[in-house]
Chains A and B, each alone.
Chain A
Amino acid sequence: DSGVTQTPKHLITATGQRVTLRCSPRSGDLSVYWYQQSLDQGLQFLIQYYNGEERAKGNILERFSAQQFPDLHSELNLSSLELGDSALYFCASSVGQLGATNEKLFFGSGTQLSVL
């Protein structure tokens, strides 16, 4: 168990809908990262938050947004869902915002999103 908690494990919804994915980082970790994993694109970095503030953006669509709350949990909001958004969404956490020596990145077990 990595200590990163994601809910729900599975989510089935229809096109055009909006969903929220939740992540609790490991105790003591201030950085949260969101990744999308699909068969054709592999693991793609979406966005990073550090101590409540957005720090980096990757290949995140404008229909997607995220936030990190004062208790450090994070939510990824996906709206106007399309069939192509079906994927595994992972949250990961680390202590700091930079990959300093001895820092490591730990992943949660993911949310499987199916858009029908």
Chain B
Amino acid sequence: GENVEQHPSTLSVQEGDSAVIKCTYSDSASNYFPWYKQELGKGPQLIIDIRSNVGEKKDQRIAVTLNKTAKHFSLHITETQPEDSAVYFCAASRNTGFQKLVFGTGTRLLVSP
């Protein structure tokens, strides 16, 4: 089955800096890669997702890149703000159902003012 590794487990940056979180996956047939943000006391919130027919997707300060050959994908947050502080999860699955969605172990991002 699919296995997703996520790094780093914690990331501290200064406000205004960029943050990059990386994930690798094992199943070469995986083609759906969402990223979730989980704030304290809340559920995971979908912030961006990418499917394997594209290599990059942007939404304002957030971007995700996908390298299918190397089987890794990354989340890039530019101009970080204190409200970006949260735990971020990557996930991967084949396009056969969300029940197959495998999550990474999470990255705790701390943005200091």
**CB within 8 Å of B: which residues of A?**
2, 4, 6, 31, 33, 42-43, 45, 48, 55-56, 58, 90, 92, 94, 97-101, 103-110
Known: A48-B97, A105-B46. 19 other contacts (CB 8 A): A2-B43, A2-B45, A31-B98, A33-B98, A42-B104, A42-B106, A45-B99, A56-B99, A98-B97, A99-B95, A99-B97, A99-B98, A99-B100, A99-B101, A101-B95, A104-B34, A106-B46, A107-B43, A107-B45
Among B41, B43, B99, B104, point to the contact of A48 (Cβ < 8 A): B99
Q: How far is the CA of A98 from the CA of B97 in the complex (A)?
A: 4
The interface on chain B, measured as residues whose beta carbon lies within 8 A of the other chain's beta carbons, has a size of 25
Q: How far is the CA of A41 from the CA of B1 in the complex (A)?
A: 16
